[in-house]
Amino acid sequence: MNIGCFKLSDFTDPDKIIEIKSEFVDQGIVKVSGLFNEAQLEQPIQDLLAVISGWSNTTNFPNDPDEAFNLLCKNNVKSADIALRIAKDLPSFQSLISNQNLYSVIGHLLGEKHLLSPFDWSLFRIDGQSTKVSHFEWHQDYQYNVISTNAVTFWIALRDVELDMGPLKFVPKSHNKIHAIHKETEVEANNPNRIRIVKNDEFEQLVLNQTDVGVIKKGECILFNTLLLHASGINKSEKYRWVANGRYAPANDKELMARDFYMARTKYPRFFESAHQDLVI
């Protein structure tokens, strides 16, 4: 299946906006290009490599980010874990995910002017053979963040993602309910799969319809509903998937306001169990 592909300029046409919103409501996912310039995409990578090289006392970096990150991981096995934890604190990363074009496009999809984004659940992902910590199995984002059930996740390719690099997998039209999860027995630091969906017959039938987003070019942005079932594809290449992701939600969501804007954050990672006790098994 090919997902709906649109450009930033499409959002200046009222008729086109209606088409894009219809696609998003129906499928739960669209792709948008033209949101970012080259410097916005490149700076977070260069800043991250510089910070980690200083921490690990690594010098003489190759110009290629993949080669540079491989060298870091070779010199210090903690590099991948450190990168996952600190990258989202980089101002250049925060500037990228606060981009006004991104904010505006998501606002159009939601029909809202005022949005919220929990920055501590944003991720700078470097997915490769040496970074198993960032491989996500089938899940919905909502159970991790508990913002709103119509929140929009953004997935920005900072480098081209080819077919052998494991493009994002998803189930079209799977964004209409919250799936039950297994109760967590412990919270592991940086474990991307600590929240496990109950794999009942309904779930197994849904994933039979899985597809992937295909090749994603640098700067293209996948936008999908927080309830859409999705997973990381397996990266079988020698390259890394350099991706920035996070989510935005309407600031006036009724359920969010009813709980005084309380949501799951890194310091409240198990909030879903409190907010939806009937969906924890």
Quick: pLDDT tens for 42-88. Answer: 999 999 988 988 888 877 878 899 998 888 888 877 877 788 788 88
- Apex 130 CA angle, 62 and 117, nearest 5: 90
Rounded to whole angstroms, the Cα distance separating 213 from 198 reads 24
Q: Which CATH superfamily is domain 4-279 in?
A: q2cbj1_9rhob like domain (2.60.120.620)
pLDDT-derived band of residue 190, with 50, 70 and 90 as boundaries? Answer: low
Residue 58 dihedral angles phi and psi, to the nearest 5°:
-100, 130
Quote the pTM value: 0.92
Q: Where are the domains of the chain?
A: 4-279
pLDDT of residue 94: 95
Residues 6+ apart with CB under 8 A from 262: 268, 271
Residue 134 in this model has a pLDDT that exceeds 60 = no
Percent of the chain at pLDDT > 90 equals 62
Range with the lowest mean pLDDT among 69-78, 99-108, 158-167, 209-218?
Answer: 69-78
Query: Within 13 A of 198's CA, how many CA atoms are on the CB side?
Result: 13
pLDDT-derived band of residue 166, with 50, 70 and 90 as boundaries? Answer: confident
Mark out the alpha helices in the chain (DSSP H runs): 14-27, 38-56, 65-75, 79-86, 91-97, 100-110, 142-145, 201-207, 254-258, 271-275
Q: Do residues 195 and 139 lie in contact, with contact meaning Cβ atoms separated by under 8 Å?
A: yes
Token representation of residue 5? 């592909």
DSSP 147: S
pLDDT tens per residue across span 4-15:
999 999 999 999
